Amino acid sequence: MALSTVTHSPLTTAHQPGLNRFDMTPAQQQVLLNHLQNKTPKRETRLAESFSHLLHHLHIEPPSRAKVQHINWDLHKAAVSPKQVISEKWHEIRGSTHWNDPSDLLHPWLRREIVKYGEFAQATYDAFDHDSSSEYCGSCRYNKSKLFDQLGLTRNGYKVTMYIYAMSHIELPRWLERSHVADPWSRDSNWMGYVAVSDDLETRRIGRRDIMVAWRGTVALCEWYDDFLSDLKSIGAGESKVEHGFLSIYTSKNCATRYNKSSASEQVMREVIELVQIYREKGEEVSLTITGHSLGGALALLNAHEAGAIIPNLPITVISFGAPKVGNIAFREELHQMGVKTLRVVVKQDLVPKMPGHFPFNEGFQAFGQIRKKRSEWDYTHVGTELMLDACSSPYLKRGMMNFPGFHNLETYLHLVDGYLDSTTPFRADAKRDVALVNKHCDMLVNELSIPPCWYQLANMGLVFDSHGRSKARRHPDDIPSPTREIDST
């Protein structure tokens, strides 16, 4: 159960590696351990009572006292499950059969991989500066060498190699975060994601060098419905068409800009091609995994389509979360013919995956495909295999309310992935992710948990006070966007 990650502390057992940071002697460690163990019963009782009250409030049969005790107070139980070596099962986990067997979606190894890439997508939100009063609004708060360290993602075993910037030649509501200050870092571009590559340890675990691309999304995608009604644009020489707004973000460039002298497409493909060449020359197997949430999931499919067309014999997987429809049936078929494996994670209550287009018409109209010689080129359709989750399956999420931003929230998705077993089984009791993460950017958790909504922010909103008591939003010099450095890196 996710509560276990809240109650476990690196100081609760002498064998925990966190103790080394405090330079404690063995005698001091034992004193602290005895103290904590002596305090446990009273605290356990309070938490058990609170938990039982929560389950009663949600009309759920509470577990026995022994069960609560096991969940919350097994001090020797790791808060994070160990990483299994999946090299021999990698192709199956990555959809060699397109996840045709529903039981594949329940396998804990696949669950861990989905969460891993979801956390990489979440990093594009957590590190994004969306404060319009900041001169760096629209950029990443950290340079690429510090990103995973700042966000606690070094455990996943990847290293960021490049940042991606994007612009658009059409007006899109609220996708471009702009600074209101007089001299912002950029007037045309936003930080849109990054490229990373697995380190040697992770490479051995999964059996190949994995190149990973994470694309940032936007929480305002619901507002794009009218703009993205049915406007598709051709890509390539075939019949494939994709939504024009997504394509504009992916391909727009302007030589007069600082960060988009080359498009997001050109930036990411240049880096991926170079990395594939480097590791293939070393005799390694290489894969490409592309992830993204919302708009980022749409860009991930465009990225996969381009990579599949340019780089031969490269295993490509897309793991998207809450992604909208991107293109027509021909676009879906081309991705399939390229061998691209796509797993779409969808929350039942989320409206964004039903967009763009008049989705009731689209879905119903396609049902008559057998009696039409040719389906309409304006039909939007999804790509790949769908993993459907239900927000009502979690006892931690509020019910009886239509919280559309909360249903679309990526942390809500990751919480449900972590606890999902199947459509007929209750939320799993040994889920590992901290339930408090759900409320980072929304208000989805039940009030009994006492987790404040939208709690994720910089200390003092980034303000630093100087010796004269004056405040100013500042960044470390290494984290200030550098046009020269970033343009050279792309």
* Residues carrying an active site annotation: 294, 350, 408
Q: From 212, 222, 63, 217, select the one nearest 130 (Cα to Cα).
A: 217
State the sign of the Cα–Cα–Cα–Cα dihedral 10, 14, 17, 18.
positive
Q: How far is CA 63 from CA 57, 322, 392, in A?
A: 14, 32, 19
H, E, C per residue of 35-59: HHHHHHHHHHHHHHHHHHHHHHHCC
State the sign of the Cα–Cα–Cα–Cα dihedral 276, 281, 287, 289.
negative
Q: What is d(CA 98, CA 343) in angstroms, rounded to the nearest whole number? A: 8
Q: How far is CA 72 from CA 33, 41, 47, 131, 300, in A?
A: 16, 11, 8, 38, 39
Q: What is d(CA 107, CA 95) in angstroms, rounded to the nearest whole number? A: 12
Helices (H) and strands (E) in the chain, counts: 15, 11
> Rounded to an integer, what is the distance from CA 247 to the centroid of its chain?
21
- Helix/strand/coil for 30: helix
Give me 208's structure tokens: 């190949």
**Number of residues written out for the chain:** 490
